């Protein structure tokens, strides 16, 4: 089955700086890669996703890049703000009945 590794487990950045979270996956059949943000006690919320036919996608301050050859994808957040503080999860799926396979999460801390 799929295995998703996520790094780092904790990331502390100064407000206004950029943050980068990286994930690798093992199953070459995976073709869908979402990123979720989860605040304490809340549901995971989709912030951006990318499909395997695209190498990069951007939505305002958030971007995701995908390298299918190397089987890794990354989340980039620019101009970080205090409200970006949360746990971020990457995930992978082959679009079938296996559901999403999640990484272990990155606790992003924005220092004022």
Partner 1 sequence: DTGVSQDPRHKITKRGQNVTFRCDPISEHNRLYWYRQTLGQGPEFLTYFQNEAQLEKSRLLSDRFSAERPKGSFSTLEIQRTEQGDSAMYLCASSLQGWETQYFGPGTRLLVL
Least separation, in Å, of the C-beta of 17 and partner 1? 25
Tallying the residues shown for the chain, one arrives at 112
Least separation, in Å, of the C-beta of 16 and partner 1? 28
Q: Residue 41 contacts by C-beta under 8 Å, 6 or more apart in sequence?
A: none
Binding site for partner 1 (CB under 8 A): 4, 6, 32, 34, 36, 42-46, 49, 51, 89, 91, 93, 95, 97-105
Least separation, in Å, of the C-beta of 79 and partner 1? 26
CB 70 within 8 A of CB 5: no
Looking at the Cβ atoms of 80 and 105, the one nearer to partner 1 is: 105
CB 100 within 8 A of CB 92: yes
């Amino acid at each position: 089955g799929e295995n998703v590794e996520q790094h780092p487990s904790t990331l502390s950045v100064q407000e206004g700086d950029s943050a980068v979270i990286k994930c690798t996956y093992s199953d070459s059949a995976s073709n869908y890669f979402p990123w979720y943000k989860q605040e304490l006690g809340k549901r995971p919320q989709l912030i951006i996703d990318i499909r395997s036919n695209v190498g990069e996608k951007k939505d305002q301050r958030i971007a995701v890049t995908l390298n299918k050859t190397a089987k890794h994808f990354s989340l980039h957040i620019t101009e970080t703000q205090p409200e970006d503080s949360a746990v971020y999860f990457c995930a992978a799926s082959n679009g079938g009945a296996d559901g999403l396979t999640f990484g272990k999460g990155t606790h992003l801390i924005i220092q004022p």
